Amino acid sequence: MVFELADIEDLYNSVQILNNGHIPYRFVSHSKLRKGLHVLKQQLRLHHSDLVVAVENLNYYYKSSDFHVFRYSRHLIISLHVPLTLKSLINPLNLVKFQKIPIINPHENSHYTTLK
């Protein structure tokens, strides 16, 4: 009975993590994610040889990835959006997130410039 309650609590916590926009380790293990990325890379080599996976770091997918979740019958489906790029662009490509910063004009307090 204690193990069942712990499993139910673990399942509840995993659903809460999913609702907060992160993929829980309980639903997608490291080995499953690694295998899924490996299969995707094989399919890209076979059918789209000019494309490669831009981010291979598994932590990226657990913490800051874009995904959709839906239910099919008794299964929970997590559709993960994997960034792809051209082979020729893989070396100089850096994924960054920009934040707008308002800069106040020193001569006029009511005017400011926003860097994008």
Residue 19 has pLDDT above 90, yes or no: no
Give the pLDDT of residue 26: 85
Average pLDDT over residues 60-75: 86
Q: What is the pLDDT of residue 116?
A: 58
Please, are residues 31 and 20 in contact by the beta-carbon 8 Å criterion?
no
Domain boundaries, the chain: 2-115
Q: List pLDDT tens digits, range 68-77.
A: 888 899 998 8
Is the predicted pLDDT of residue 93 greater than 60, yes or no?
Answer: no
- Between 98 and 37, name the one with better pLDDT: 37
pLDDT at 76: 87
The residue-averaged pLDDT of 94-115 equals 69
C-alpha distances (whole Å) from 95 to each of 3, 62, 73, 82 are: 42, 16, 37, 13
